[in-house]
Structure 1
Amino acid sequence: MRAEAAQAFPDGLICDPGLDVLLDLFIAGEEGNRRVVSDLLRTEVPATTGLRWLKRLEDEGFVERQPDPHDRRRYFITLSEESRSKVRNLIERSRLQLAEFD
């Protein structure tokens, strides 16, 4: 829904880098995929802003970084278990709120 909103409105109007990273990581995890740093920098904000948000999320324990055993230059980024639970709850509450409009 956020991606569709970002496409429907002018560039930069629908933008929350922290939430975008959390949602991207949640979806990737649910699909059995992993993300590397460069995957998470493909947003509506400059790469420096994305890196700053990623560092903040990591510093605060919301995401975890694991080295790629096959490529020492890459790191996999995943949600912490607490963050995964919080995002799941956020999505469920949003789904219930949207259902009230049906």
Structure 2
Amino acid sequence: MTAAIPGWRIVLELDIVPELTAEFEKIWTEVGTSVSADPANLGQWLLRDAVQSNIYYVISDWTDEAEFRRFEGSERHLRHRELLHPYRRGGSMKSMAVVSHLPGERG
């Protein structure tokens, strides 16, 4: 049986300047800890594409859309974007409601 759970998921696709990927990962981790400290943030992941090593994905889970939008408009978020902008060549964002979750065997 699937369990309906509340939540809001953000998926960012980031095209990073190839020569700056290592520095981008370092800066993302530094600013990411501040995002994870927000009470409405349920966790986030940084993933690198297996084929195009300069393409990254950020998956970020939030308690609900309103709380994510609050954070998105905050000074803290704007500062993060400023710090990461020099590494980006482009990207996109998808936002979605979490409908259900099927936990794996290991939890």
Verify same fold: TM over 0.5.
no
Which gives a bigger RCO, structure 1 or 2 (Cα 8 Å, sep 6+)? 2
Q: TM-score, normalised by structure 2?
A: 0.27
Greater per-residue helix proportion: 1
